[in-house]
Amino acid sequence: MRPRLNVIKIGGNVVDSPAMLQLFLQNIAKHPTTSVIIHGGGKIATQMAEKMNIPQTMIDGRRITDEATLDIVTMVYAGLLNKKIVSKLHSLGRTAVGLSGADGNVVLAKKRVHPTLDYGYVGEVQSVNGQFLQNIIDQNLTPVLCAITHDSQGQLLNTNADTIAQEVAVALAAYFDVSLIYTFEKRGVLLNVDDEESVIKELTRAAYSKHVELGAIHSGMIPKLDNAFKAIDDGVKSVKIGKAEQLTQILNDEEGTKII
């Protein structure tokens, strides 16, 4: 029987709140299954840019990353937030190691090409060094990976954390029985975004397509769910989506939406 592993994407609402982040990490630390943690930067990078008078542009939830913005997100994601998470895990009894995609060649990416928009220094994941991560995990360390990657030519790239989580989960599925968990501000995938009780407990690809067609699932949930189904197709054992505050219940299959 292969060892179990959780790949957990921390939602932006969690990294924005010190109290929520502390509770979230406590729940990870006390759970017996080993975890890999993936994070972006929430609103902190935007707030830092405002302090430095560097204008920010967001299109469909994606940050246009010019050179100055890349410096900021690298400082915030790979520096400030990554080391805060690592140090908090240490205080909770978990020995952690903080990484960007450039460290150990963990995540190789290429600059995104779009037919009409220039996203700047934004990356699309090309490969994940799963063996390097496995070696870290085998030393009883918790990898904490931020959403900064590299292109092997010395260029750092700002890369979507949901996609990194999916690609990391797939790479590690060669060594572990992987559960991929996406946490955010809702209890799961909702049929009615204004009704927290309308959680879809299990979501098949056929039902997903139908809900998208009817408009019940839309906007930012679509790329998240596309990542979720791709992970299942590529060997990840399970994918769950739910509310960050209910992480323990999600890990125990008591809350959230399970992708099947």
Mean pLDDT of the region 111-133: 95
Contacts of 39 (CB under 8 A, 6+ apart): 9, 10, 15, 77, 81, 82, 85, 144, 145, 146, 147, 161
Which residue do the tokens 């895990």 mark? 89
CA distance 39 to 82: 8
Distance CA 247, CA 31 (A): 10
Please tell me the predicted confidence (pLDDT) of residue 169: 98
Task: Supply the CATH classification number for the domain 4-259.
Answer: 3.40.1160.10
Q: What is the pLDDT of residue 62?
A: 78
Provide the Cα torsion 26, 223, 83, 122; round to 10°: 180
pLDDT by residue (tens digit) across 142-167? 999 999 999 999 999 999 999 999 99
Give pLDDT, residue 102: 98
Q: Can you give the pLDDT at residue 58? A: 85
More confident: 63 or 232: 232
CA distance 220 to 202: 19
Q: Rounded mean pLDDT of the chain?
A: 95
* Span 180-203, pLDDT tens digits: 999 999 999 999 989 999 999 999
pLDDT value of residue 220: 84
Distance in angstroms (rounded) separating the CA atoms of residues 130 and 133: 5
User: What is the rounded radius of gyration, in angstroms, for the C-alpha atoms of the chain?
Assistant: 17
Backbone region of residue 5 per phi and psi (left: phi > 0; alpha: psi in -120 to 50; beta: other values): beta
Q: Which pLDDT score, from 0 to 100, does residue 24 have?
A: 97
- Residues 27-61: pLDDT tens digits? 999 999 999 999 999 799 999 999 999 999 988 77
C-alpha count within 13 angstroms, C-beta hemisphere, residue 121: 20
Q: Where are the domains of the chain?
A: 4-259
pLDDT tens across 218-249, in order?
888 999 999 999 999 999 999 999 999 999 99
- Whether 204 and 153 have beta carbons less than 8 Å apart is answered as no
- C-beta of residue 91 within 8 angstroms of C-beta of residue 132: no
Q: What is the pLDDT of residue 256?
A: 97
Residue 83 has pLDDT above 90, yes or no: yes
One-letter amino acid identity for 185? E
Give the pLDDT band (50/70/90) at residue 1. confident
With H, G, I as helix, E, B as strand and everything else as coil, classify residue 180: strand
